[in-house]
Amino acid sequence: MKSRWFWLALVLLPIWTCRAGSPEDAAAWLKKAIAPCFSQDEAVSLKTREKLEKTATAPELKKLLAKDNAEVERTGEVAKLGFDWVLNAQDIPTGWEIGTPLVDEKSVVVPVVTKWSDGNHVHFFLLEPAGKGWLISDVWYPGARTLVGILE
């Protein structure tokens, strides 16, 4: 009986360890990934957001963001997205923090609290596991708006 459990563990352990991790791991990953977006240096914020769009977004969201960016390049005008999708604003907040992550079916939902002169605002990043890491699949904003919904 012990040998059967040994072989089962031997087979399942690599599968389990290849998973992205816990909700807390997702929150830590997101915090590290988006922190430079909150820099007072606009060039750093922009460069970080562009890197996120290319390397840390799920395929559907990546396509939608690329389409919106191409429209901006083509017309020189604001397309569907008239704000920084990471900050949920056009300006940089006075502070920010990551809230307690929640599990939603196959995603982890991570709240981001931004601090403004008029109080705190919250928006939520949906992260899906991808290999040993995470991808941003959507962002939920106040007023029942989602990043994917805005871009579609």
- Indicate the pTM of the whole model: 0.81
Report the CATH number at residue 86.
3.10.450.50
- The pLDDT > 90 percentage for the chain reads 53
Do the domain assignments include residue 14? no
pLDDT tens-digit readout, 14-68: 333 335 689 999 999 999 999 998 888 888 888 898 999 999 999 999 999 999 9
The count of structural domains within the chain is 1
Residue 13 lies in a domain: no
Q: Is residue 1 part of a domain?
A: no
Provide the b/e sequence for 66-82 (b: ≥16 CB within 10 Å). eebeeeeeeeeeeeebe
Assess if residue 3 is contained within a domain. no
- Residue range of the domain that includes 111: 20-151
Q: For residue 10, is it within any domain?
A: no
Rounded Cα–Cα distance for residues 17 and 132 (Å): 8
130 falls within a domain: yes
Q: Using one digit for the tens of pLDDT, what is the confidence trace for 100-120?
A: 999 977 899 999 999 999 999
Looking at the domain assignment, is residue 85 inside a domain?
A: yes
Helix 42-55 to helix 23-34 angle (10° resolution) is 140
Q: How far apart are the first and last CA of the chain?
A: 55
- From residue 126, give the alpha-carbon distance in Å to each of 22, 41, 48, 74, 101: 14, 26, 18, 30, 10
Residue 6 falls inside a structural domain: no
Task: Determine which helix (DSSP H) or strand (DSSP E) holds 27, and give its type and residue range.
Answer: helix 23-34
